[in-house]
Each structure stands twice: as C-alpha cells, then as structure tokens.
Amino acid sequence: MRVPALVAAGIALLLALLGSVFIVTEGHSAIVFRLGTVVREDVGPGLRFKWPLIESARVFDRRLNVLPAEPERYLTADKLDVSIDFFAIGRIEDMRRFFQATGGDETVAAERLAPIIRDSLRNEINSLNLLDVVKGDREAVIGKQLETINRGAATLGVKIQDIRIKRIDLPQDSNVLSSVYNQMRSQRLQVASQLRAEGFEQAQAIRSAADRDKTVILAEAERDAQRMRGEGDAEATRLYGEAASKDPSFFVFQRSLESYRKSFADGQSVILLDRDDPFLQYLKSDR
C-alpha cells in the first residue's frame, strides 16, 4: 500500500510543480490572477512561478500587430463619396486595462477599435476635398487624427502606432466617377487654354521681334546698297574721267557705242536722222 501512495504523492507533487511554473516568451507579457483578482501584471519574458491551484496566468502578445478593417465609405467636403481601405498597427499598452475592457480577447479589441478609427478618419476626410484626399499627403491626413484615436484606444489599454491607407477608390455605384472625370476634363481644358494663350502671346512677341529685325535689316541693307552704289558711281565717273583725259577720241567712241547699244537694244527701234548727223559718224564706212 505504501508504493501506490508514494506514486500518488509523487504525481501530485509533480502536478503541483508543473502548475506553479509558466513560461513567458520574448515579446510577450503575462498577468497573474489569484482567485480571479489581478495580483501581478507586466510579467516579463522568462521562466515564472505562481502558486498552484489558487493562481493562474494569462500571457499576451505585446508586439506590434496589424489590425485589419473593412473598407469604409466617406463623404468629402465637396460632397463626393470615396471608399478608403486602411489598416492600423498597434500594441497592448496597459495590460490590466486591456483585460478589463476586452477580457483578453484581441478580436473584441479590434472590433471596438474599428469604429474609433473610422470616426476619426471621417472627421478629417469630411474637411477635405476629393482632390486633396487622393493627391494629398496620406501620412499628414492620418497624423492629424492619431492623437484623437489614441485617446479612444487608451480606454482599451491599446496604443495605435500608425494607420496606413492601402487604397482609395471611387465607388462604382455613384456619380462620383463621372463628376471626377468632368472635373479633370475641365481642369485639363483650363490648362490647355492657358497654355494656348501663353503660346499665342509668345508667338506674337516673336513675330513682332522678327518684323522689327526685318525692318532694321532691310533699312541697313538699303543704306549700305545706296552707299556702295554711290561709291561705285563715283569710281566709274573717276575712271571715265581718267580715260577721257588720256584719250578723248576713244572716250567719245566708247560713249557712242554705249549709245548705239541702248538705242537698238530691243532690235526693233527705228531712228530717223539726217545722214550727216554726228550720232551716225561711227556707223559710216570709210570705203
């Protein structure tokens, strides 16, 4: 009878020892309860002990976790619908409060956090136009509401580190798409008109400058031509003068030939002159 009793005592002792030990892994913390009352909290990683039978432990993940949320529709300041898909990144900040508020159920915490985040985002997006929501700085949009969100999350013992917007969509079942396309088309037309006006203005300026340069160039060319023509005539006169002074008879002959050439240039001219007219002296034959 002693052997079974010793075995039973050994088993009971082993169970007591096993019931008095629990392990907290890295990145986790534990709460120790004594008959349902919290006696220790934020118990860090390692091999930990508790009183068997009267004490129990709950281990919670203290690392950052992603809290998914369903896409939500919001109304912008210009009364247009937009669908935003986001997720939150948070961690347990106050383990006692987290357990009291959620019973230690992370699913319950996520369900209670979702409306807090949605309402805060709604307040921010309601104050922005659709273009600011789509093209603006998403981190700035979130950052303005992160403090407000954490005030609500603190009641659950949770702290939200960041909220990321994954996607912004325009609902297909509304007139937002056509409105956005019309707005974009109007903006593009406005930009095109502005560019066209600026181009026309620049073209006019270029044409005016070209016309001015043309007038100046033609005037300068005419001036230079007149000067060169005058210089040429003067030089010709000088050469004729020198030629006449050296051989007057040849000069007279040369001038007569030029007169003949000009008079009969078209080949059809008829001149009636007296046979003894000096104009014909070089046309007479000596035979």
| DSSP 8-state class, residue 181 | H
Q: 69 and 148: one domain?
A: yes
pLDDT tier, 1 (very low <50, low <70, confident <90, very high otherwise): very low
Q: 76 and 152: one domain?
A: yes
For residue 130, being part of any structural domain is answered with yes
**pLDDT confidence of residue 3:** 54
Residue with tokens 């013992």: 157
Could you report the per-residue pLDDT of 229-254, keeping only the tens digit for each? 888 888 877 777 777 677 666 666 66
**pLDDT confidence of residue 206:** 92
**Number of compact structural domains in the chain:** 3
For residue 1, being part of any structural domain is answered with no
Q: 51 and 146: one domain?
A: no
Ramachandran quadrant class, 63 (left: phi over 0; alpha: psi -120 to 50; beta: rest): beta
Could you report the per-residue pLDDT of 104-155, keeping only the tens digit for each? 888 888 888 888 888 888 888 888 777 777 776 667 777 778 888 888 888 8
Could you report the per-residue pLDDT of 145-172, keeping only the tens digit for each? 888 888 888 888 899 888 888 887 776 6
Q: What is the mean pLDDT of residues 72-93?
A: 82
Q: 141 and 82: one domain?
A: yes
Q: 158 and 124: one domain?
A: yes
CATH of the domain at 80: 3.30.479.30
Q: 39 and 136: one domain?
A: no
Query: What's this model's pTM, rounded to 2 decimal places?
Result: 0.50
Q: 70 and 168: one domain?
A: yes
Q: 154 and 122: one domain?
A: yes
Parallel/antiparallel/unpaired status of strands 81-92 and 72-75? antiparallel
| Residue whose C-alpha is closest to residue 64's, from 37, 88, 39, 44 | 88
Name the average pLDDT for the chain. 77
For residue 280, being part of any structural domain is answered with yes
Domain boundary among 143, 174, 205: 174
For residue 202, being part of any structural domain is answered with no
Domain boundary among 149, 174, 199: 174
Which residue type, as a one-letter code, is found at position 227?
Answer: R
Is residue 35 scored above 50 in pLDDT? Answer: yes
**pLDDT confidence of residue 153:** 87
Q: 33 and 106: one domain?
A: no
Domain boundary among 146, 174, 202: 174
For residue 149, being part of any structural domain is answered with yes
Share of the chain above pLDDT 70, in %: 75
What is the distance between the alpha carbons of residues 34 and 30, in angstroms, rounded to a whole number? 13
Domain that holds residue 284: 259-287
Contact 183, 115 (CB under 8 A): no
For residue 72, being part of any structural domain is answered with yes
Sequence-distant (≥ 6) Cβ neighbours of residue 48 within 8 angstroms: 21, 22, 23, 24, 30, 32, 57
For residue 42, being part of any structural domain is answered with yes
Residue 131 to residues 11, 122, 134: CA-CA distances in angstroms? 71, 16, 5
Q: 134 and 44: one domain?
A: no
Q: 127 and 47: one domain?
A: no
Q: 116 and 148: one domain?
A: yes
For residue 140, being part of any structural domain is answered with yes
